[in-house]
């Protein structure tokens, strides 16, 4: 559709101006018209996702993110970039992340470790036994000796081969707790060469793309005339499903992050008091079909595709949390019970969604080839998680690491179905486990996607009012 839109050129006079005004008046409906219909590589339509997210998911996931268990995230923002020499951290004040004082962290989280989500034992001897198990976390006093031994085995289990992300070492002195509610994701002013290099490295070196194929709007691409990225999408459609999915996940994550920046933009600052809100001009620059030569709507469709992937992961991991042995422990017994009840309620909603993505269609070829492709898929994504340590803005790095880890955890879940099905009810499992860091990242990352879709609806309304 972008090819048919008239543009006013110099010297065209009043007629060109009229055509431009007519074009601008239709931009809101163009955005809306192009981000609709059934998504590629699945059988779900965008309107169904919008309604499901608006009425079932968003109000609950927003409430969950405000609970103590999910608002405190431990992260190392000082890890050096492993791929290139950094230009130095951003000096813009809005890039700064305020770590949480030790006194503010709930006792159950502060006393715990990476796998800490079970109740604190009242018995001192049991607590000592747990500390010997690599300080895994406390054990419910009702567990048998056999279960306690299983916890110790579990602590020794190295599941790095299942990880799609490079996890921060929470025991590192550089790792700090961050209150996500006090450090919201929004536009910080971080841009330019440093930011571009991060995303360029992700797309050019990790998305299974040969260097001879150029992404749409890539400033390094040679002049392609009126190509508008069609050659790129011809190449993309020729890939196997798994590699197409990989690209769509990264593009969807990029779109989601850009939506957050557009929706929480520094509009003005008076007497040191900033005013944050939606920036329609910035939204158009990043997503309008005319300004992006049709690329914007494709990016937004990939956002919906990513939402489906993480939604599917939540529905699949529900049995893990439905077990009585799992308790999202902070030390506040009443709130912990309410938090788990709310989480299980969200899981029930995710399972009720009728048009889930079918992950079984992936890696379904011959066993040897499928295994090799899955490992390549995993390593490429793990590499992207490492690139997040190259982001120069601390706040952007924080949210980039969290959302990448959340997606990596979702992928880990989707490809661990057999292990999840074999989970014992009253004891831990060696075959599948999630750290607290992964749990917090998973739900907050999905919460960000839910927020993005809500923000997109808001921008559609704003665009209609601005006509």
**Rounded Cα gap, residues 295 and 217, in angstroms:** 8
**114 annotated as belonging to a binding site for a ligand:** no
- Residue 393 annotated as catalytic: yes
Is 271 assigned to a binding site? no
- Give the active site residue among 42, 100, 130, 396: 396
Cα dihedral sign, 449-182-459-19: negative
The answer to the question of whether 89 is labelled as a binding residue is: no
Say whether 373 sits in a helix, a strand or coil.
Answer: helix
Q: Residue 296 in contact with residue 31, Cβ under 8 Å?
A: yes
At residue 37, the 3 state secondary structure works out as coil
Element (H, E) at 73: strand 72-76
Tokens encoding 418: 């057999």
DSSP state of 177: E
84 marked among binding-site residues: no
Tell me whether residue 188 is annotated as binding: yes
Question: 254 among the known binding-site residues?
Answer: yes
List the beta strands (DSSP E) in 149-204. Answer: 175-179
For residues 138 and 118, is the Cβ–Cβ distance under 8 A?
A: yes
Half-sphere exposure of 105 (CA within 13 A, CB side): 16
461: how many CB neighbours lie within 10 A of its CB? 11
Instruction: Classify the C-alpha dihedral 195-201-203-204 as positive or negative.
Output: positive
As a whole number of angstroms, the distance between CA 111 and CA 388 comes to: 28
Cα–Cα distance measured from residue 428 to residue 411, given in angstroms and rounded to the nearest whole number: 21
Q: Which residue has the tokens 């790129």?
A: 232
According to DSSP, the residues that pair with 178 across neighbouring strands are 73, 99
Both tokens of 198, joined, read 């991060």
First to last CA, the chain: 19
Of 332, 82, 161, 228, the closest CA to residue 340 belongs to 332
Annotated binding site: 186, 188, 199, 251, 254, 286
Where in the sequence numbering do the catalytic residues fall? Answer: 393, 396
Annotated binding site for FAD: 186, 188, 199, 251, 254, 286
């Amino acid at each position: 559709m972008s090819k048919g839109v008239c543009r006013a050129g110099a010297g065209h006079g009043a007629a060109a101006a009229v055509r431009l005004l007519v074009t601008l008046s239709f931009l809101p409906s163009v955005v809306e018209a192009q981000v609709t219909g059934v998504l590629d590589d699945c059988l779900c339509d965008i309107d169904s996702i919008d309604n499901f997210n608006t009425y079932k998911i968003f109000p609950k996931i927003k409430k969950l993110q405000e609970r103590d268990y999910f608002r405190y995230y431990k992260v190392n923002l000082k890890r050096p970039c492993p791929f290139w020499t950094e230009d130095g951290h951003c000096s813009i004040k809005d890039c700064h992340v305020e770590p949480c004082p030790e006194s503010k962290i709930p006792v159950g989280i502060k006393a715990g470790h990476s796998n800490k989500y079970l109740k604190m034992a009242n018995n001192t001897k049991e607590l000592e036994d747990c500390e010997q198990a690599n300080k895994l976390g406390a054990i419910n006093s009702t567990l048998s000796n056999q279960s306690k031994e299983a916890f110790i085995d579990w602590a020794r289990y190295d599941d790095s081969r299942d990880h799609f992300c490079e996890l921060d070492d929470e025991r590192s002195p550089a790792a700090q707790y961050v209150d996500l509610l006090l450090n919201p994701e929004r536009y910080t002013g971080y841009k330019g060469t440093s930011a571009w290099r991060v995303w360029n490295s992700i797309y050019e070196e990790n998305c299974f793309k040969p260097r001879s194929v150029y992404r749409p709007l890539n400033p390094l691409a040679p002049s392609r005339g009126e190509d508008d990225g069609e050659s790129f999408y011809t190449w993309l459609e020729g890939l196997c499903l798994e590699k197409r999915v990989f690209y769509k996940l990264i593009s969807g994550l990029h779109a989601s992050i850009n939506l957050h920046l557009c929706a929480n933009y520094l509009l003005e600052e008076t007497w040191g008091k900033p005013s944050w809100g939606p920036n329609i001009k910035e939204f158009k620059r990043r997503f309008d079909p005319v300004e992006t030569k049709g690329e914007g709507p494709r990016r937004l469709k990939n956002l919906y595709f990513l939402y489906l992937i993480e939604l599917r992961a939540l529905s699949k991991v529900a049995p893990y949390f439905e077990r009585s042995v799992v308790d999202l422990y902070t030390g506040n017994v009443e709130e912990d019970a309410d938090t788990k009840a709310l989480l299980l309620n969200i899981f029930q909603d995710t399972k009720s969604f009728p048009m889930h993505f079918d992950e079984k269609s992936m890696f379904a070829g011959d066993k040897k080839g499928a295994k090799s492709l899955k490992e390549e898929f995993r390593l490429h994504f793990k590499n992207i998680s490492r690139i997040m340590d190259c982001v120069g803005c601390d706040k952007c790095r924080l949210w980039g690491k969290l959302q990448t880890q959340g997606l990596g955890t979702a992928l880990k879940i989707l490809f661990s179905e057999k292990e999840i099905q074999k989970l014992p009810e009253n004891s831990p499992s060696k075959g599948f486990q999630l750290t607290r860091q992964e749990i917090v990242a998973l739900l907050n990352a999905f919460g960000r996607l839910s927020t993005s879709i809500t923000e997109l609806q808001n921008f559609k309304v704003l665009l209609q009012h601005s006509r």
